[in-house]
Structure 1
């Protein structure tokens, strides 16, 4: 059997009588105003601010009849003068209309609420729909004036005359310079047309000039009043902000008193002045200060709960900051241990291809040491014991990653040779390491690729963040080595060969195969060492056929750079590297030749002239593109005068080319720009016919 419905219990008679006696709530109390004598109405009016006078006139019939009549102008002028905080009321609008404009948010045509922008020159407030209905667009006004009398705008239809004669309004989505967004009030334009028709016909030039000048004067007067009102609004906003700020400070003092009563005094004292300021500007404090009025209760439960959460958050943050400092110091010891493990003087290029802190930070043996409790002592010696095995483990892991990334491409070329030793096992970076040299590439073989920075930098949306937990250890590790002064410090991740796009790897290896074969080497057997020792040169057959007078001769690395930059196979010159990595489609440039590039070996009888040109073109540079590493120091590198000064002051060596030949200085493979690492092509003079 279904349960019975509960019968509705009515309210007590006492409550019903009390409500019926005076109506419901505020409306009931206002209804008593109608019963008051006129003398009391006038006394009430003398005490009201114009905005309150308008508000009460909307709710009380007798006051509305008394104040919103044409003969009640003196009442409003007295209230206006008594207020003292309102701008002067112009002659072209009444006081009730102006106070409604300044205080209301309703459309004056349809009553729609939520209109936030007054049109002060029109003394109106319209919603978007009514604005369109009650105004003309620019072309309508232009055509109307031109049809009315061509002399008004002249044959050239002067744009400035329209904007000076009538008060324009720019729609909220529009641009002030675009005529499509200009609106002009129908009432103003129609009144001008009516005045024109009222003139004695035919209209003389003098009468027309007087009419136009009057119209311009009226529009100018409205613009001046608009500027005055805008300034007044700014002043009122400053005053209101100051009042809210005073309320906020007073309220925050009350909050601190209540918190101290709840035994939170020691926690509050532990907060710094900056943290207290931040606490005082919490949204809940600012919001409560704005709403606070004399006699209005504050919901202290919500406010104090937010304060407790803030204090707990700051204490947790302080603990994390202290922990981060401990981890930072331990990462510095790890960094030194890595340097000692790999760096032996005299310094050589291959020593630069060492792991970074971020590479080892998440290996278990290292993490157990770094992430030990603060009570345990961790020093450089703690890492020194495990560094050899960890370094070997890291290098083997990276080697396997690179090999796995390249093997699908070079599998058909390997013949009893370790794949990564092949000359064709090349990886090309076109990322941020190029800096301003976007016409260059950075060529990487193994083990050079192990030291490349781009494989550790995390782009927006990063490769390395998904597997990292959001804890103090991970955050400290990924930001180690970044500039702490930066607003958005760099984020690093462990070595990741996935930076290279497989399609790019396939294409670049294919280009390298053609270059190695053209040099006369066996692309299935030639090693990186043999490639770098090869003294032969190439010319691009496609370019020579197109421009015989531009006979450029290339080294192997310049040839690869030219092939990728000048003859790309599957993308245009405006290639977006990050977009390509994220899988965005790109349009292929139709002007680029999609055929494979072709190379030919430079004849031996031409090599004499080539070597003479290269002696100048390939001379060591000391500019900003060339960063030289000092073999006598473990980490120092600089360019230009900086490296020369270092040699003289630190090692008492005068810079000379001998420093480059004997290995005292060598080009830093990562800090130097590609233009310093790629020997540039040389231009052979035109061959003489006959």
Structure 2
């Protein structure tokens, strides 16, 4: 080889004439003899000939040598750190940088001292520039330092030399930028051609794999993949590679591809089963709507949801029938007449759950239903809601939460449940967030103060008696108070208290009305558009259901079952002879809660400030 440049020059020149610049670059890196020969001045023609073998490659610019031009265009190494596979060529800088070196070797200003510095009479058009990853103009650090070094060497009073210097660099920049445009266009075309070639190779490889899989019996899966152009296969790393698909290569990747197909088959069967179940659930929904066609009302919040019906044994058994079974809409319609029975059974089950909670704290007679008693109250452990009674407690929003899928599709034991809960995006009713309220203990004392047995007195009985205790507060309203002792009041005080309550009932309702929660009566999904304010509920009906003037009177919205009850405010009976400073701590407490003030003598409701 050492003698070849002299003894066999003609042969090598003939060979070199068929090579491309990248081939010559490789030769300069494999042997010192080739490097010494090819980088000599006498081989410019060899490099030019190799360059012309590359289609549409722009001519070598005058400011670069042929080897340097070839190195810039074809050598995939960073010119600063020698990192490999660097495709980012900055043609305006005539250099190839990796991302890290580009940030290090560029500056955001050509001024002396950086941004906001001294321009010294130079202008931006004297420097080559490019855009960084943030699309901001940056300059080549090496060039900026070199130009400034030359500029500062020119005497300050030699304006002619300075102008010549400026014009020279402006022409240089224009020449570089003009050639950079040609190089960028060629580079884009080359990359597009390369991409097209690789895409054709991958397509051919994919077609070969598809043929082999069809021959192996995977036709159903391939038919399902066809709508996505076999994306699941084409995205596989072994198929994305550019290696040709030979029989030997197929044997190498076959186990991995077959594993992919098995997984896809499993997913396909699951999706088909899920789709089948959703169709059956739609039939069930239609049957339930036919059985209960009326708009939703407050009592609807105490009824089962579609999720609860779908998980009832009768509907679940029908819906979970195998695909081979001929399940139709008529099969669901046959169960429609039993919906009332199923609903009552569901409410009985809910009642049993609530009864077990209240039984954990009290012992009731065997014949007594604790849920109907006036002393039975529940608290929610998930929020601050307290003192809920049956059946309003059923509608509490924390007992039926949204469903977030947390199981894998492969979990067959919960597959049907997952489909059902995901279809309506909510879970079944659950009492896990309920506990016996402390108000039950206070209620027992109040009921005992009324001369009644708290283990036998129902809410209906207490409402019919309508007693008043202590400072003439209604028995139900006294539940929220913490006093340990209560006593039944009677006679004229009760009459005065009831009259005062009646006089204030309208204003009390007007005060509480904006705080009431409303739900949409036209939405089937109780998990959405519920427990909201009146303006929002009305706005939803106008927007979602195209009703111009919705109202609660027309049944478009209703008061949610989860709305806290309106409690009568405490009534404070005070003689007009008593000074405000003579009120007890308890009386002041009632007054601070805006309790009503009644004049004993005049039987009139008066403001406290005028009754002293």
What is the TM-score with the length of structure 1 in the denominator? 0.55
Q: Structure 1's 468 and 560: CA in aligned 2 closer, same or farther, altered over 3 A?
A: farther
Q: Structure 1's 627 and 53: CA in aligned 2 closer, same or farther, altered over 3 A?
A: same
Is the Cα–Cα contact under 8 Å of residues 382 and 433 in structure 2 kept in the other structure? no
Q: Structure 1's 467 and 273: CA in aligned 2 closer, same or farther, altered over 3 A?
A: closer
Q: Give 1:559 shift.
A: 5.3
Q: Given the alignment, which residue of 227, 231, 236 partners 1:278?
A: 231
Q: Give 1:58 shift.
A: 1.5
Paired position in structure 1 for 2:530: none
Q: Given the alignment, which residue of 385, 406, 416 partners 1:473?
A: 416
Structure 1 Cα separation of the partners of residues 8 and 432 of structure 2: 87
Q: Give 1:42 shift.
A: 0.9
Q: Which digits, 9 at most, give the CA deviation of each residue in 1:564-616, with x for residues without a partner?
A: xxxxxxxxxxxxxxxxxxxxxxxxxxxxxxxxxxxxxxxxxxxxxxxxxxxxx
Query: Which stretch shifts more, 39-48 or 350-359?
Result: 350-359
Q: Given the alignment, which residue of 279, 283, 304 partners 1:329?
A: 279
Q: Which digits, 9 at most, give the CA deviation of each residue in 1:334-388, with x for residues without a partner?
A: 33454466x3758743135433333344455543332122344552256447755
Paired position in structure 1 for 2:539: 624
2:428 is aligned with 1:494: yes
Is the Cα–Cα contact under 8 Å of residues 336 and 380 in structure 1 kept in the other structure? no
Q: Structure 1's 358 and 186: CA in aligned 2 closer, same or farther, altered over 3 A?
A: same
What is the TM-score with the length of structure 2 in the denominator? 0.61
Q: Give 1:50 shift.
A: 1.3
2:174 is aligned with 1:203: no
Paired position in structure 1 for 2:128: 167
Paired position in structure 2 for 1:237: 191
Q: Given the alignment, which residue of 512, 515, 520 partners 1:556?
A: 512
Q: Given the alignment, which residue of 91, 107, 119 partners 2:62?
A: 91
Is the Cα–Cα contact under 8 Å of residues 542 and 549 in structure 2 kept in the other structure? no
2:78 is aligned with 1:78: no
- Higher Cα Rg: structure 1 or 2? 2
Q: Structure 1's 240 and 640: CA in aligned 2 closer, same or farther, altered over 3 A?
A: same
Paired position in structure 2 for 1:351: 300
Structure 1 Cα separation of the partners of residues 84 and 502 of structure 2: 77
Structure 2 Cα separation of the partners of residues 210 and 404 of structure 1: 99
Q: Structure 1's 280 and 74: CA in aligned 2 closer, same or farther, altered over 3 A?
A: same
2:244 is aligned with 1:292: yes
Structure 1 Cα separation of the partners of residues 305 and 229 of structure 2: 39
Q: Map 1:567-646 to 2 at 5 A.
A: 624-626=539-541, 638-641=545-548
Q: Structure 1's 144 and 418: CA in aligned 2 closer, same or farther, altered over 3 A?
A: closer
Paired position in structure 2 for 1:369: 318
Query: Which stretch shifts more, 224-233 or 137-146?
Result: 137-146
2:107 is aligned with 1:142: no
Contiguous gaps of at least 5 residues in structure 1:
1-29, 154-160, 409-413, 431-443, 482-490, 507-516, 539-552, 562-617, 629-636, 644-656, 675-689
2:105 is aligned with 1:105: no
Is the Cα–Cα contact under 8 Å of residues 280 and 319 in structure 2 kept in the other structure? yes
Is the Cα–Cα contact under 8 Å of residues 110 and 139 in structure 2 kept in the other structure? no
Paired position in structure 2 for 1:433: none
Structure 1 Cα separation of the partners of residues 178 and 230 of structure 2: 41
Q: Give 1:236 shift.
A: 1.9
Q: Map 1:303-452 to 2 at 5 A.
A: 303-339=253-289, 343=292, 348-364=297-313, 366-376=315-325, 378=327, 379-381=331-333, 383-384=335-336, 387=339, 390-392=342-344, 394-395=346-347, 417=374, 419=376
Structure 2 Cα separation of the partners of residues 189 and 518 of structure 1: 91
Structure 1 Cα separation of the partners of residues 249 and 228 of structure 2: 23
Structure 2 Cα separation of the partners of residues 43 and 533 of structure 1: 116
Q: Give 1:89 shift.
A: 3.1
Is the Cα–Cα contact under 8 Å of residues 206 and 239 in structure 2 kept in the other structure? no
Structure 2 Cα separation of the partners of residues 128 and 322 of structure 1: 47
Q: Give 1:667 shift.
A: 1.4
Q: Which digits, 9 at most, give the CA deviation of each residue in 1:475-498, with x for residues without a partner?
A: 4323325xxxxxxxxx44334678
SS of match in other structure, 2:95: coil
Is the Cα–Cα contact under 8 Å of residues 468 and 474 in structure 1 kept in the other structure? no
Structure 2 Cα separation of the partners of residues 445 and 285 of structure 1: 64
Q: Which digits, 9 at most, give the CA deviation of each residue in 1:379-424, with x for residues without a partner?
A: 225644775565345445656888999999xxxxx9962545x9x9
> Aligned pair count?
485
Q: Which digits, 9 at most, give the CA deviation of each residue in 1:37-61, with x for residues without a partner?
A: 2222111110111112212221133
Paired position in structure 2 for 1:535: 505
Structure 2 Cα separation of the partners of residues 129 and 276 of structure 1: 38
Q: Structure 1's 100 and 299: CA in aligned 2 closer, same or farther, altered over 3 A?
A: same
2:557 is aligned with 1:667: yes
Q: Structure 1's 642 and 152: CA in aligned 2 closer, same or farther, altered over 3 A?
A: same
Structure 1 Cα separation of the partners of residues 383 and 243 of structure 2: 62
Q: Given the alignment, which residue of 35, 40, 50 partners 2:11?
A: 40
Q: Structure 1's 114 and 537: CA in aligned 2 closer, same or farther, altered over 3 A?
A: farther
Structure 1 Cα separation of the partners of residues 103 and 374 of structure 2: 79
Structure 1 Cα separation of the partners of residues 384 and 174 of structure 2: 63
Structure 2 Cα separation of the partners of residues 401 and 208 of structure 1: 95
SS of match in other structure, 1:105: coil
Query: Which stretch shifts more, 470-479 or 69-78?
Result: 470-479
Paired position in structure 2 for 1:586: none
